[in-house]
A and B are shown apart, each in its own frame.
Chain A
């Protein structure tokens, strides 16, 4: 059992929680994730990146967006509630070295996993340029935290409601055009955003690392549900990743695979909401 120590709503659908998990806090490195379950018998296992850890408190921080039933239920839990299943840290840690100049691009909720990586890169002596972007102002998270780390900080929104009105690929392209060009790019966010970041940097031949969040069951290499095509090889995100060379990832296939259960989930999700509405009506 893992207790919820702290909870804060970051934006309409985005929540931050600190969970008691002393062993995970001790072992985790930037880039790794956990899998959690809300119900031991019938719950589903969802992977979430570890945004931060505090070894003194023995806790880890997760940041998640409500996208389905499990994340909705998770968002409704409160301080003091317990999670029956929390396992990790999973995946390979990010390789942290002094690469020179690294551009860290975070899209929406992607800023959560990006933050510890940017932090570690800064600590290793890199010149860190950070671009964070979202559809609109309300969806921007971790602005202050990211600003603190960055040597250069760019914020943009698709609708121009905050910062520069642009997709993150625009400033990314400009930075790649500089002389000297950056040594590396790390892009984390929705698949479509990572795909276009990789397309943006490809002509400049700047190594672009992406962090993938695919459908998983066990998270230990056992099921292969998380597999992606990287180059001409099948890779498992849970044990070979989650980070891969963005220029080699077959994003189209990955996005199709992410939608494997969309129809079923939509049915289920609406079912669940309908039940909730009914329950409320009965109370009134």
Chain B
């Protein structure tokens, strides 16, 4: 089914809302559940596969208000419980229903710093929207109140007013906090620590900020402009930013404390170490990690072939291995870069795919082919060492494994060849070794993830960590949740120190 046009959705909502406006507060639950769930307007698939513009266009004001009216304002707030940063969801949604958008923005900002980003990339269907009473009543999680889209609506509305409020900063404390990595976890820690009046420096290895938000998530899902705006707020708050600085190499982690006088460090270096499958042919020309492919296209702007110096491989037939959001991003990017056929090859079924439903639906609309219950066995090359085909095996599902998902079992002698010239491996990331390699005294687990306590503190004094370097590859919002917790612990530690110093002086 092709999505409805923006004009149609907008006009429908304009007509529909008239019915509800005079009884916003009087509608019974039954009535509210009958309000049609609002479809997200999106660029036409034919058009969007040739550009990098954002796929989803955002609710119109009427759509947002109608969707907000679907909320039952439950007393027991399942949605808040399921939100990693505990936004008071019904309260901000109620403000939207009443057209009080600034109030809605203020409610969100009590808990979340980056609503424009979370509203776009959070997996709401497994979090706030998973136990929504409306969704349950309608026996369809997809019919839950579209909390994420409403969050995005408010964030975009606020941005469009041009007056994004800069949070209040407490008087300078003279304490210095170093943030290693400018991904979602680091950005949250930077804001939270700066608000307490500490001097905050963000160290970023790349020349641009945002970490995975910038190099990983494509612009068609999260425009750079949105990341830039969020970072502008941090700059306006007085956060110092140092790009092209690889902590561990340019400066040892512990030197930041010992030589540069930082009082606390937060390590949020992410899960940047691509995992390969270890199959034959994986080093052939034309095999890429999703990280490399996406970094070339996103961070290095290779999508703009005429302008960018960084080249990207010319592909006709592309296989993407994996079933997560990164696999979807890679497949859809390959399509936008001109590939004729793109196959997502996944060894389980659609049900087990970790990618967000919306991303899978968008990928399908864009003509991405899905090959379920199949996996790469080896990649074949031509005489120049370039990919010419991929040999696959068929699978069936067996008993559930430790992840609770049914284990895929290879069917013997089911090999077949897929005609591809490019293979993108998107089966996950290990932990980046740079910090642990150069900080041997830091405790890490067997897979290289930094070990922390429940306040996100590492085995080293004054050093905290969070996000994917602790969790393994997870989500933006979980990283933000960890950042929030780490910032609270850092702020507490520094407050106690300041208190102690005062006592000594008196």
CA distance A222 to B243 in the complex (A): 16
B322 contacts the other chain (CB 8 A): no
A239 contacts the other chain (CB 8 A): yes
Interface residue ranges of B300-342 to A (CB < 8 Å): 300-301, 304, 307-311, 313-314
Main secondary structure of the interface of A (DSSP, over half): mixed
Residue with the highest number of chain B CB atoms closer than 10 Å, among A84, A224, A257, A261: A224
B249 contacts the other chain (CB 8 A): yes
B285 contacts the other chain (CB 8 A): yes
Once the chains bind, are A265 and B311 in contact (CB under 8 Å)? yes
Once the chains bind, are A87 and B250 in contact (CB under 8 Å)? yes
Q: Using A87-B245, A90-B249 as known contacts, say yes or no to A223 and B274 having CB atoms under 8 A apart.
A: yes
A228 contacts the other chain (CB 8 A): yes
CA distance A93 to B433 in the complex (A): 15
A260 contacts the other chain (CB 8 A): yes
Chain A residue numbers with a CB within 8 Å of B284 are 253, 256
CA distance A256 to B437 in the complex (A): 30
Once the chains bind, are B289 and A42 in contact (CB under 8 Å)? no
A-B contact count (CB 8 A): 126
Q: Using A253-B385, A257-B285 as known contacts, say yes or no to A44 and B310 having CB atoms under 8 A apart.
A: yes
| A-contact 0/1 string along B432-444, CB 8 Å cutoff | 1110010000000
A245 contacts the other chain (CB 8 A): no
Once the chains bind, are B250 and A223 in contact (CB under 8 Å)? no
Contact of B285 (CB < 8 Å), options: A86, A218, A222, A260 = A260
A20 contacts the other chain (CB 8 A): no
CA distance A228 to B276 in the complex (A): 13
The count of chain A contact residues (Cβ–Cβ below 8 Å) is 45
Chain B residue numbers with a CB within 8 Å of A263 are 314
Interface residue ranges of B177-233 to A (CB < 8 Å): 205-208, 215
Once the chains bind, are A37 and B207 in contact (CB under 8 Å)? yes
Once the chains bind, are A85 and B207 in contact (CB under 8 Å)? yes
| A-contact 0/1 string along B245-275, CB 8 Å cutoff | 1100111100000000000000000001110
Once the chains bind, are B386 and A256 in contact (CB under 8 Å)? yes
Once the chains bind, are B301 and A42 in contact (CB under 8 Å)? yes
Chain B residue numbers with a CB within 8 Å of A253 are 283-284, 385
A88 contacts the other chain (CB 8 A): yes
Q: Using A89-B249, A239-B437, A253-B283 as known contacts, say yes or no to A264 and B385 having CB atoms under 8 A apart.
A: no
Once the chains bind, are A90 and B285 in contact (CB under 8 Å)? no
CA distance A41 to B307 in the complex (A): 9
Chain A residue numbers with a CB within 8 Å of B386 are 256
Chain B residue numbers with a CB within 8 Å of A217 are 292, 295-296, 300, 310
Once the chains bind, are B385 and A234 in contact (CB under 8 Å)? no
Chain B residue numbers with a CB within 8 Å of A260 are 285-286, 313
Once the chains bind, are A225 and B288 in contact (CB under 8 Å)? yes
A11 contacts the other chain (CB 8 A): no
Residue of B nearest to A225 (CB): B292
Once the chains bind, are B274 and A40 in contact (CB under 8 Å)? no
Chain A residue numbers with a CB within 8 Å of B295 are 217-218, 222-223
| A-contact 0/1 string along B414-447, CB 8 Å cutoff | 0000000000000000001110010000000000
11 contacts between A and B (CB under 8 A): A42-B307, A43-B309, A85-B207, A87-B250, A90-B246, A217-B300, A220-B272, A234-B276, A260-B286, A264-B314, A268-B311
